[in-house]
Homo-oligomer: A and B are copies of this chain.
Amino acid sequence: MPTLSLRVDLDPDGRIGPGKIALLESIAELGSISAAGRAMDMSYRRAWELVDEMNGIFGKPVVRSQSGGTRGGGAVLTSLGRALIVRYRAIERDAAAAAAQHLLALQEEIARADDETPGV
C-alpha cells in the first residue's frame, strides 16, 4: 500500500528544504539560534550558516537579533522568516491533500491488477 513522502524545495539555486524550515521553527520556539541548533543536534556555527544561507537566498534576513529587553541576545524571526514557514507548511499540506485522491485510486488499481490475466 503506497504512502507518500513529499519533498518541497524552494529555490533550486539555494535549496530550502525540510531541515532549514525545522530550524526556523525551532528558532521561533526557543528564541535563540544556539538553543535551536542544540535542540537539533547541530553546532551554533552550523545553525548560523544555515540562517545566513537563507538570508542570502532572499537577499533579506529571515532571522534578526533581538536587542535589549528581558531576552536580550536572543533571536527572532522576521516577517519573511515567519512567512517562509507558513507557506512551506501550507505547500506540504495542500500537496499531500492533492495527492490523497490519487493514492486512493492507485490502491484500487493495485487491487484490480489481480484480475489481469498474464499475457493478455
Contacts and interface: CB of A to CB of B under 8 A. Distances in A.
Contacts of A64: 118-119
Give this chain's copy count.
2
Contacts of A113: 58, 60, 78-80, 83
B60 A84 contact: no
Interface residues of A, number: 43
A114 B79 CA distance: 10
Interface stretch (A22-30, A32-40, A41-49, A104-112): A104-112
30 contacts: A2-B10, A3-B10, A4-B8, A4-B10, A5-B7, A5-B8, A5-B12, A6-B6, A6-B9, A6-B95, A7-B7, A8-B99, A10-B106, A58-B110, A60-B113, A64-B119, A78-B116, A80-B109, A83-B110, A84-B106, A87-B102, A87-B103, A87-B106, A87-B109, A91-B98, A91-B103, A94-B98, A94-B102, A95-B99, A98-B98
